[in-house]
Amino acid sequence: MDRNIPASRILGTGHYLPSQVLTNDDLARRVDTSDEWIRSRTGIGQRHIAAPEEASSDMAAAASRLALEAAGLSPNDLDAIIVGTISPDKRMPACAVYLQQKLGVTNNCPSFDLSAACAGFIYGLGVADAFIRASQSRYVLVVGVELLSRVIDWQDRATCVLFGDGAGAAVLGPSDGDGRGIVSTHLYSDGSKANDLHIPGGGTLMPFSAEVLERREYYVRMNGQEVFKYAVRAISRAAGTAIESNGLTPNDIDWVMPHQANKRILDGVRQRCGVPKERFFINIEETANTSSASVPIVLDQAVRSGHVRRGQNLVFCALGGGFSWGSALVRW
Ligand code: COA
């Protein structure tokens, strides 16, 4: 949606990365790969892996507590909790209700998951902004969380090298009317690409069975080359739309905070969208691809390290399974 007068703004951010780190060399002892192959194709050097007792909602809660603290709010101030994830604690109920429980939110605020894969956080921002714009909610918690180490096939070297675990969170509230906040969100899907990045089994189409387990069809399957080509085009177009629809040029953008899918995808996006290279915030070497968590993790790292200053223009952009993708322009 295009608009120039922000209704909502980000009041606080937080992120959580599990302490256990799996380097490329560690991984090469499990599957037939190498540090050189992974780095040269993806830019990834390591990934964080959740502890066996950790669930997605635990990681989400850790990130959310930091975001609430930064916003100066208490859990019961929240009017809605939105979690973007493809790796919830359970298929039912939503990861968001476990997050509500763990944060100690007792006000019965609506809490739901949103399935847009790596674009989950940006979709969540769009929904939260619409809630606030419509006066449905005042304070909304938006989280991207993924425990991908439990949904990827550790025997499939073409996918398992890419992903990691983590969570990022942002608390949104009404804008101050000073032009700062969520300026626009643009959200897209292309269902014709649904089977190029998916988890075939375990849903209603192919319920769990001995065969599904044996064929390992309950893990992420990816057509890597198709994802690669489509992602470069779609992410750069969405970033361009965020800039142009608000009457800005690439030079007006202070930070691009892209989904950390793959460094070569990000190189392609950088070349196409015209924002200078040094204004892309990149952490993929340390975190790998954390799907919906990646944009809010980058955002929180940039905020806490003092890189983001009042009034700066930020562009968020991401693409993932669906394919679903999107962008947001935020004036900080
Ligand atoms: N280590 C070593 N070799 C590997 C490997 C690994 N981890 N994974 C695949 N290979 C091998 C393949 O078996 C193949 O070998 P072959 O030629 O003997 O058959 C060779 O490398 C090339 O495989 P291919 O799948 O064509 O590689 P690629 O150049 O397309 O690179 C990706 C694979 C996954 C790195 C690349 O397709 C990609 O980055 N795609 C986008 C993925 C992504 O970002 N997904 C998340 C989106 S949110």
Radius of gyration of the chain (CA): 19
**145-154: average pLDDT:** 97
Q: How far apart are CA 197 and CA 320, in angstroms?
A: 8
Is 262's C-beta closer than 6 angstroms to any atom of ligand 1?
Answer: yes
Q: For the whole model, what pTM was predicted?
A: 0.96
- Strands 313-320 and 255-258, how do they pair? parallel
The strand ranges marked E within 98-149 are 111-114, 140-147
Q: Among the atoms of ligand 1, which is closest to the Cα of residue 227? A: 41
- Strands 313-320 and 324-331, how do they pair? antiparallel
Is 157's C-beta closer than 6 angstroms to any atom of ligand 1?
Answer: yes
* 197 has a pLDDT exceeding 90: yes
Measured CA distances, 125 to 115, 142, 207, 210, 267 (Å): 13, 7, 32, 39, 25
**Contact, 262 vs 43, CB < 8 A?**
yes
* Residue 160 among the catalytic residues: no
**Among 22, 41, 220, 265, which residue has the most ligand 1 atoms within 8 Å of its CB, making it the best to mutate?**
41
Is 158's C-beta closer than 6 angstroms to any atom of ligand 1?
Answer: yes
**Contact, 54 vs 147, CB < 8 A?**
yes
* 38 has a pLDDT exceeding 90: yes
Is 33's C-beta closer than 6 angstroms to any atom of ligand 1?
Answer: yes
* 181 has a pLDDT exceeding 60: yes
**63-80: average pLDDT:** 98
* 106 has a pLDDT exceeding 90: yes
Residue closest by Cα to atom 28 of ligand 1: 225
Model confidence band, residue 171 (pLDDT cutoffs 50, 70, 90): very high
Residue closest by Cα to atom 1 of ligand 1: 33
pLDDT at 2: 47
* Residue 307 among the catalytic residues: no
Report which of 249, 248, 311, 304 is spatially closest to residue 281, judged by C-alpha positions. 304
pLDDT at 3: 55
